[in-house]
Structure 1
Amino acid sequence: MSVLKHSKQSRNMASSSLGRRLVACLLNVSEARRKDLVESVAKAALYDTEGVRREGTTVLNIFNDHDYNRSVITIVASVDSIRDVVLSACEKACGLIDMHAHTGVHPCMGAIDLIPIYPLGEEVGVEDCAKEARAVAQGLTERVQGTGAFLFGWADSPLQRGLAQRRKEMGWFKKTPDLQAIRPDVGPQPQKRFGLTGVGASPYVMNCNVTIDTQDIATGRSIAAAIRESTPGGLPGVQVLALPHGGAVEIACNVESVKGSPPSHVTAGEPWPSYSIGGQSYCHAPASLITARVAELAGMQGVGVKGTALVGFTPLECRGLAELALSHGIAEFWKEQRGIRM
C-alpha cells in the first residue's frame, strides 16, 4: 500500500506520539549551486561509511537557494543519536565545501554555517538538546581540524544568548567578517576554508521568506525594520534581513517560537500555532500574518508582493512528517514529500 494511503493513519500516530524522543536539525550549509554535493551531505546523515542506513533517521527536506548559495537540510532523529548523525553530515560538507571559493548574497561565516537543534515534543527536555548541541560543537572541532564554533540558545550556558545576538557579536552580519578577530566558544581560531559555525538549541525556528516586487534594497530594509521584533510594533520572535534575490528583494525572516501567548495587538485576530516543551507553552507568528504585514508595508510604498516561501516546515508539520517518514522507513523523504498530503 502506498505511503499516500497511509498518511491519515500516520497523522493519528503522530498525534498520539510514538515516544521516539525526536529532535530536528535544520543544517545550514554554504552551498546550493551544486545540488549533488548538497544531497551527498544529506545522505551522509542517513548512511554510515559502509552505506548502511542509520535507523530512526530521516531527511525531510532540502531547500536550495541559488542566489544565496545556501541550503537548509531538515534532519530528524532521536536526541540520543542526533550527535553522530549531524557530525557525519558536517564532516562530509567540510570535505567538499571550500569557503575560499564561496560567493552568495546571504551572510555566512562557515562551510557549515548553522547547526540548530530543536525538540519536537514533550519527550525531549531543554537540557537534552543543550547537551547534544554542545557535544556537536566539540565533536565538529575535533573531527575537522581548523573549524571553530560559537554557541547560542540553550547551549550557551549560563547566558543563553539568542542567535541574532551571537551572530552580531561574531561579526556574521558584516560583508567580509574578520575570522582573525573572532574568539570561538569551542575550538581554535577557524581557518578560512571551514570558517565559523553557529551551534545551539532552542524552541523551533521557522524560516519564512516574502519576496517584494522591487529591486530597491532600501525599501526592503525599511520593511524589514518595521516588522523586526526589536522595533516597537514589530512581530514577536521575528528576526529579519532584506536581501537582493532573483531580480527582486526578499524579506527573509527567522520566525522564533516565543513563550506563552502573543500580545493581542499583534495577532490581527489570527491564531498563532502553539505547542509545548517541558510543560512550557510556545507559539510562533503564522506565515500568513507575516506576509500580510509585509504586503501592507510594501503597498504603502507602491510595491506589490510576489510570493512567500517556507524554508521547510512549521514545528507541527515537522513533527507530523517525521512520524510519517519514520513509520514507513523512509530515509530520503525529501524525494517523496511532494506526493504526500498531511
Structure 2
Amino acid sequence: MTEGRKILECVPNFSEGRNEESIERIVAPLKARPGVRLVNYEGDRDYNRLVVTVLGDPQAVKEAILDAVGIATELIDLNHHQGEHLRMGATDVVPLIPIRNMTVGETVELSRELGRAINERYGIPVFLYEDSASSPDRVNLANIRRGQFEGMAEKLLLPEWEPDFGQRKIHPTAGVTAVGARFPLIAYNIDLGTDKLEIANRIARAIRQSGGGFQFIKAGGVELKEKGIVQVTMNITDYRKNPIYRVFETVRMEAARYGVPVIGSEIIGLAPLDALTGSLEHYLGLHGFDDTKIIEHWLMDD
C-alpha cells in the first residue's frame, strides 16, 4: 500500500454466524479481488453474526462489498433468523472508515454511492448513519435499528423514517441496511464468570453513555449459551477519549460488586495500533513510550 494511494476500510456485518458454507460464500467476492485485501472475518454462533474487515482501493472495495451483499441477500432469510445480536438486515450495517489519503467528505460521498447501489441492485431500503446521516436522529445506529427486522415494516411507514434510498417497504427476507462513514471504533467484549445475564446487563447500564456512564461507550449484556457464561459487549466509538484499559478496569470493578470475576476479553475485527499501545503503556507503567519503539513500526510501508 504505497504512499499517496487512497486506502479505505470497510467492516460489513452480516446476519449469519453459524452456517460455514454460507459464510464462505458471502466472503468469496472479497478474496483475491484486485485492489481489495480481506484481512479478517469472524462468525459468532451465539450472535449469529459475521463481521468482515477489508482494506483497499475505495472503488474496488465498493464493488466487492456490493457483490457480497448480493450473496447475503440470496442466502439469509431474517424471518428464520435467531441470535443474540440486534439486527434489521441480512447485511445489517456497512461502515466505511477512511484510513489513508481520504477525507471524511470523500468517504461520505462513497457511502452514498454504495447505499444507492445496494437499493437499486437488490431492492433493499438503505439508511445513512454516523457522518453520512441525513438527519441528527440517524447519526446513532441504535436509533435506526430500534424495532429490528420484525418491527421495521411498520417503522418505515412513520413520517420521520423514510429510507435515504428506496421505498417505505422492507425487503421481505433481507430487511434494511445501514451504510455510513465513521471514525474507527473498537468492538470489544468482556467475558464474565457467571451465567446470570442480569449482572451483565447491570454492568452495561453502569458503563454506557446512555446510562450516565462513559461517553463514547455503547454496551449491552449478552448470554453465550454455548460457553455457559455472559458477556458485556461494547462499541468504543472513540478510543482516544475512553481507552480500552479504562473500560476493562471499570467492568472488572463493577463485576467485583457481584462477586463475579472477569475471565477474558476479545476484540472483534481490527483495532488501531495506538489503541492497543495505550493499554500496554498503562499496564507496564512505561515512560516516554510511543510507536517508534516497536520494531514492526519501522517495517511498515510508508
C-alpha offsets along residues 60-112 of structure 1, whole Å, 9 cap, x if unaligned?
Answer: 11111101100101011122332212111111111111112211121111100
Greater CA drift, 155-164 or 112-121: 155-164
Structural mapping, 1:23-102, within 5 Å: 23-46=8-31, 53-102=32-81
Q: Which residue of 2 aligns with 1:208?
A: 188
In the alignment, the residues of structure 1 paired with residue 59 and residue 29 of structure 2 have an alpha-carbon distance, to the nearest angstrom, of 18
Cα distance 1:42–1:116, how it changes in 2: closer, same or farther (>3 A)?
A: same
Secondary structure class of the residue paired with 1:215: coil
User: Aligned to 1:181, which of 135, 142, 155?
Assistant: 155
Alignment of 1:251 onto 2:226 = no
CA distance in 2, matches of 1:64, 1:75: 15
1:141 to 119, 131, 145: 119
Verify the 8 A CA contact 1:57 1:78 in the aligned structure 2.
yes
Distance 1:241 1:120, change over 3 A: same
SS at match of 1:250: strand
- How far residue 169 of structure 1 moved from its aligned partner, in angstroms, is 4.4
The number of equivalent residue pairs is 269
Greater RCO, 1 or 2 (C-alpha within 8 Å, sep 6+): 1
Q: CA deviation at 1:316?
A: 3.6
1:303 to 217, 237, 260: 260
Is 1:124 the equivalent of 2:102? yes
**TM-score calculated relative to the size of structure 2:** 0.82
Asked if 1 retains the 8 angstrom alpha-carbon contact of 2:88 and 2:149, the reply is no
User: For residue 337 of structure 1, what is the aligned residue in structure 2?
Assistant: none
**Unmatched tracts of structure 2, length 5 or more:** 157-161, 276-298
Q: Which moves more between the two structures, 104-113 or 234-243? A: 234-243
Partner of 2:207: 227
For residues 306 and 35 of structure 1, the distance between their equivalents in structure 2, rounded to whole angstroms, comes to 28
Tell me which moved more, 65-74 or 217-226: 217-226
Show the counterpart of 2:128: 151
Q: What SS does the aligned partner of 1:115 have?
A: strand
Tell me the CA shift for residue 236 of structure 1: 2.7
TM-score, normalization by structure 1: 0.73
Alignment of 1:261-280 (within 5 A): none
1:168 deviation in Å? 2.3
Runs of 5+ unmatched residues, structure 1: 1-13, 47-52, 258-271, 273-282, 319-340
Say whether residues 1:196 and 2:173 are aligned partners.
Answer: no
Q: 1:103 maps to which residue?
A: 82
Change (3 A) 1:175 1:152: closer
Secondary structure at the residue paired with 2:41?
strand
Q: What is the rounded CA distance, in whole Å, between the counterparts of 1:148 and 1:175 in structure 2? A: 12
Letter in 2 for 1:157: S
Q: Which runs of 4+ in 1 moved over 6 A?
A: none
Secondary structure (helix, strand or coil) at the match of 1:297 reads helix
93-102 or 309-318, which deviates more: 309-318
Q: Against the structure 1 CA distance between its residues 185 and 157, is the aligned structure 2 distance closer, same or farther, given a 3 Å change threshold?
A: closer
Match of 1:168 in 2: 143
- Following superposition, the deviation at residue 241 of structure 1 comes to 1.3
The structure-2 alpha-carbon separation of the partners of 1:284 and 1:115, relative to structure 1 and needing over 3 Å to count, comes to farther
